[in-house]
Amino acid sequence: MANPTTSPVRTLREHTLALQEAMTVCLSKPRPRAVHKVRTEAGRIEAQLELLNLLKKLPSHRSETARVLRLLKKIRRAAGRVRDLDVQRKLLKPPVANNPEDPATEDAEQQTPHSASELSESADLTELRQIRKRRRKRAARKLLKLLDKRQKKLAAAFDALLTALEPVQDLQLPAAELLQLIDQRFRGTHALIIRHPSSEHLHSIRKAARVARYQAEIAPDSAAAIRAAQRYEALQVAGGQWHDTLSLAADAATELGDNHAAAVSFGQQRDQHLAAYRALLERVRP
């Protein structure tokens, strides 16, 4: 396609349907994949609404958008809490437990720790996993309660928003213009201009990269949009890995002590991910 375009309103409609389907699946069984789908679809809709706010001459939809965002915010955050615990539980698994079918597990008996200190550390990690398992159950119950309570309200809010936008449902946005809007918005992130960003600033950049990625991905027929989405995703993933190990290192230090081997190990992983994140960030600075 010589001059690829995308349809932001039709894409929004597709994601509203995808989220409602994901919520139904999650209500049936809040497995990690189902929770992740709820979280990402909610995030994609938020990104899409942010994009629509950058476009000119659209019908008035401010009040409808505000209502959708209020409902989405709590759902995304609740799903995010469950997702974070899923990630932490995975990070706490010993290597041989990650993939039971991995050839490395054939020598699992040889990899079993034998010293008293190693056995103690293994027991501590097991306890950390159990703590997160219990927390995950509580967080999942809260998520299900929220989804059940807001499912119909959100469906009605989506209907009202899409009705307001119906006059421009066939609006076509050139991919080049889309990328320009995304880039301007991303580079306008205040934290990008700070030479030594704090943890709060790094969180802001990670979130901005996630939004930019979701927005770029609505133009799958554009090679330039695909490349842009990949760049934003790389930054998002690097920031996400740092954030996950940051939380786990802090929890391990609190629950096991600063000098515990697990706390030290997760602290090292946190620092490694932070260095990789900062290095990648330097390449995209204005």
pLDDT digits (tens, 9 = 90+) for 217-263: 999 999 999 999 999 999 999 999 999 999 999 999 998 899 988 88
Residues 85 and 12 in one domain: yes
Which residues, at least 6 apart from 197, have a Cβ–Cβ distance to it below 8 Å?
A: 191, 205, 281
Residues 33 and 160 in one domain: yes
Residues 203 and 146 in one domain: no
Residues 183 and 162 in one domain: no
Q: Tell me, yes or no, whether 283 lies in a domain.
A: yes
Q: Tell me, yes or no, whether 279 lies in a domain.
A: yes
| Buried/exposed code over 226-260 (b: 16+ C-beta within 10 A; e: otherwise) | eebbebbbebbbbbbbbbbbbbbbebbbeebeeeb
Give the domain extent around 9: 1-97+128-171
Which DSSP string do the residues of 65-82 spell out, in sequence order?
HHHHHHHHHHHHHHHHHH
Residues 157 and 184 in one domain: no
Count other Cβ atoms within 10 Å, centred on residue 134.
Answer: 11
Strands (E), 152-241: 173-174
Is residue 109 predicted with pLDDT exceeding 60?
Answer: no
Give the CATH number, domain containing residue 263: 1.20.120
Q: Tell me, yes or no, whether 114 lies in a domain.
A: no
State which H helix or E strand residue 5 sits in: strand 5-6
Residues 143 and 185 in one domain: no
DSSP 8-state symbol, 191: G
**How high is the pLDDT of residue 17?**
98
**How high is the pLDDT of residue 114?**
39
Q: Tell me, yes or no, whether 119 lies in a domain.
A: no
Instruction: Tell me what percent of the residues of the chain surpass a pLDDT of 70.
Output: 90
**How high is the pLDDT of residue 95?**
56
Residues 146 and 253 in one domain: no
3-class secondary-structure state, position 196: coil
Of 171, 194, 222, the one marking the end of a domain is: 171
Confidence of residue 215 (pLDDT cuts 50, 70, 90): very high
Of 210, 226, 232, the closest CA to residue 284 belongs to 232
Is residue 26 predicted with pLDDT exceeding 80?
Answer: yes
Domain count, the chain: 2
